[in-house]
Amino acid sequence: MRSMQLSLNGEAAPLEALAHLAGNNYGHFTAAQARGGRIQGLSLHLDRLQAATRELFGNDLDLDLLRGWLRALLGGQDASVRISVFSLGFDRDHPAQAAKPDVLITLAPPRGLQTGPLRTCSVPYDRDSPHIKHLGSFGLFNQRRLAQLRGFDDALFVTADGHVAEGTIWNVGFREGEDILWPAAPMLEGISMQLLKAGLARIGVAQTTRVITRAELPQLRSAFFTNSACAAMPIACIDEVGFDLADDLPALLRAALDCEPWVQP
- Contact present, 144 and 166 (Cβ < 8 Å): no
pLDDT, position 247? 77
**Rounded mean pLDDT of 173-180?**
94
More confident position, 30 or 246: 30
**Cα–Cα distances in Å, from 18 out to 104, 138, 170, 183, 215?**
9, 18, 26, 37, 45
User: Any alpha helices (H) in the chain, and if so which ranges?
Assistant: 15-24, 42-57, 63-74, 138-149, 191-202, 249-257
248-258: pLDDT as tens digits: 888 899 999 99
pLDDT, position 211? 98
Q: State what percent of residues in the chain have pLDDT above 70.
A: 98
Q: Is the pLDDT score of 260 beyond 80?
A: yes
**Chain centroid offset of residue 227 CA:** 5
**Rounded mean pLDDT of 145-153?**
98
**Cα–Cα distances in Å, from 119 out to 132, 152, 178, 205, 241?**
26, 5, 23, 26, 10
**Chain centroid offset of residue 265 CA:** 19
Q: How far apart are CA 79 and CA 265, in angstroms?
A: 14
pLDDT, position 208? 97
Q: Is the pLDDT score of 17 beyond 90?
A: no
* Residue from 197, 203, 198, 258 nearest 224 by CA: 197
Under CATH, which architecture does the 5-108 domain have? 2-Layer Sandwich (3.30)
Helix (H/G/I), strand (E/B), else coil: 172? strand
- Contact present, 259 and 203 (Cβ < 8 Å): yes
pLDDT, position 18? 86
The domains of the chain are located at 5-108, 118-260
Superfamily (CATH) of domain 118-260: D-amino Acid Aminotransferase, subunit A, domain 2 (3.20.10.10)
**Rounded mean pLDDT of 50-69?**
98
- Contact present, 63 and 21 (Cβ < 8 Å): no
- Beta strands per DSSP E along the chain: 5-8, 28-35, 38-40, 79-86, 102-108, 118-124, 154-158, 164-167, 171-176, 179-183, 207-210, 222-227, 230-238, 241-242, 262-263
Half-sphere exposure in the Cβ direction for 85 (13 Å, CA): 30
Task: Return the CA Rg of the chain.
Answer: 19
pLDDT, position 62? 97
Does this model's pTM top 0.75? My answer is yes
Q: Is the pLDDT score of 222 beyond 80?
A: yes
60-118: pLDDT as tens digits: 999 999 999 999 999 999 999 999 999 999 999 999 999 999 999 999 999 766 667 99
